[in-house]
Every structure is written in structure tokens, then in C-alpha cells.
Amino acid sequence: MNRPRTIFTALLFYTVTTILAEDYEANFKEMLDVGWSFVREDKKEWRLAEGQVELLAQPANIWGKANNGTKNLLLRALPSANSSVEVVVDFNPRKKYEQAGLMLYVDDDNYIKLNRELINGQFCVMILEDGASPKLVKRIPFREGPIHLRLDIVGGKVNAWVKAPDEDAWIEHGETTLPGKPDAVKVGIFALNGDTNAPRWAKFSRFKLSAKE
């Protein structure tokens, strides 16, 4: 007599737990959550503090085939082929091309970066590297201070958005294609092109990852 209700309850539990598994918000308090992994970890150059993960800007980059080997790319798997990821980055670069931000990563020659970067002023920059051939998708000037970054992945396309953390409206940044099949792509954070004479830490908070319909 109670079997239909039991089946319904089981299905409801499965649906809810599936949704919860797909919607993830990082807890950067005492340790990294299960699911995070580093590319070339250097334990001395990352830390957790005040509910944030901090990465020391590496004195290297991954631009083009000649530049592989940057440490401490912190990544996790996408929940589905269509996903959305966002993070707040607190980093004020002082050396040209010093940068920190959000990444969709297959390997050092296939990735998308959306980051704060010092060029001839403070910018938000989107880069696609496909087959070791990097190109600028778009860059826009952006004021100093924390920056809120978001990447939406739908049907193999990637849309970038940016805003100040204390504002509500997202600014559309640019669009490009995913640098690989979704099941090969990981998402995460990075800080690179740092200054060895004046090391700077990039602070990351409010990392959220969700599946999109």
C-alpha cells in the first residue's frame, strides 16, 4: 500500500541530491573541499586565510607553446557540459602582464582565461589558447579593487561576464568557443606573471559552480 509513496520519496531524494551535487560553493576555511586538485602544486605558494584561498602570483605564464610549467593552477571538474562558474578576485597587479583570475583548462596549450591584468592600466582580459595558439578575445578597462568574474558554458560556447562585487548588474565581456570537449575541461583559478622582486598574493572568494539546463 505504501510502495508508490516510497518510490516517490526515493525519486524526490535522488532529484534533490543530484541538484545539490551539481550546485557547488567553495568553502575556503580550514582545508580545500574534495574535488580540488593542483596542476604542479607548490605548497609554499598557496594558503587558506579568512575564508579565501590565496595564490602567490607565479613568475611564469602559459602563453603559447614555449611557456608551459606554471605552478599552482587550482582546478576542479565541470558538473555538466553546460555550466556556470564565478569567483571574486582581489588582486591589484603592479607589474605589466601580472594577472589573476578564472580559467577553463584542458592543458597548458588549450585553455580560456578571464582575469584582471595590468597592461597600460587595469584591465579585464579574456584569452583563448587553442592548440598552443593564443589570441586575445577581448579586454576592457576595469577599476582597481576586487573584481567578480563569471563564465557561462552552453553548447560549446563560452560567454564571459564581469562586475564589481558590490554591484548587481553584470557587464557582458566576450564570447569564444570551448578549447576541448566538456568532459576534458576543468575549471579553476590561477595567478601568474608575478614579480619575483615584489611577490603579490591573489585572493579568491565566493567561488560558485553550477550546472545549467
CATH number for 47: 2.60.120.200
pLDDT computed for residue 213 by the predictor: 73
The grid coordinates listed for 42 are 607548490
**Is residue 42 included in any domain, yes or no?**
yes
- Does the residue 40 lie in any domain? yes
- pLDDT tens digits for 34-46? 999 999 999 999 9
Residue 16 lies in a domain: no
Looking at residue 11, its pLDDT comes to 38
In a domain, 128, yes or no: yes
Q: Which residues contact 57 (CB under 8 A, 6 or more apart)?
A: 91, 93, 98, 99, 100, 191, 192, 193, 194, 195, 199, 200, 201, 202
Share of the chain above pLDDT 90, in %: 88
> What's the pTM?
0.89
Query: Can you tell me the distance from the alpha carbon of 88 to that of 104, in angstroms, rounded to the nearest whole number?
Result: 16
Structural domains counted in the chain:
1
Query: What's the confidence (pLDDT) of residue 22?
Result: 65
Amino acid (1-letter code) at residue 137? V
Q: What parts of the chain have a pLDDT lower than 50?
A: 2, 4-21
Nearest to 116 by CA among 136, 137, 97, 135: 97
Q: Which of 181, 176, 108 is nearest to 137 (CA)?
A: 176
Do 140 and 129 contact (CB within 8 A), yes or no? no
Beta strand 157-163 with 171-177 is antiparallel
Measured from the Cβ of residue 27, the count of other Cβ atoms closer than 10 Å reads: 12
Does residue 86 fall inside a structural domain? yes
Residue 9: the pLDDT is 37
Q: Give domain status of residue 144, yes or no.
A: yes
Tell me if 187 sits within 8 A of 103, measured CB to CB.
yes
Domain holding 195, by residue range, is: 24-211
Taking the C-alpha atoms of residue 91 and residue 102, their distance in angstroms, rounded to an integer, is 12
Domain membership of residue 4 (yes or no) is no
Number of Cβ within 10 Å of residue 208's Cβ equals 14
Spatial separation of the C-alpha atoms in residues 191 and 43, rounded to whole Å = 14
Q: What is the tens place of the pLDDT at every residue in 37-71?
A: 999 999 999 999 999 999 999 999 999 999 999 99
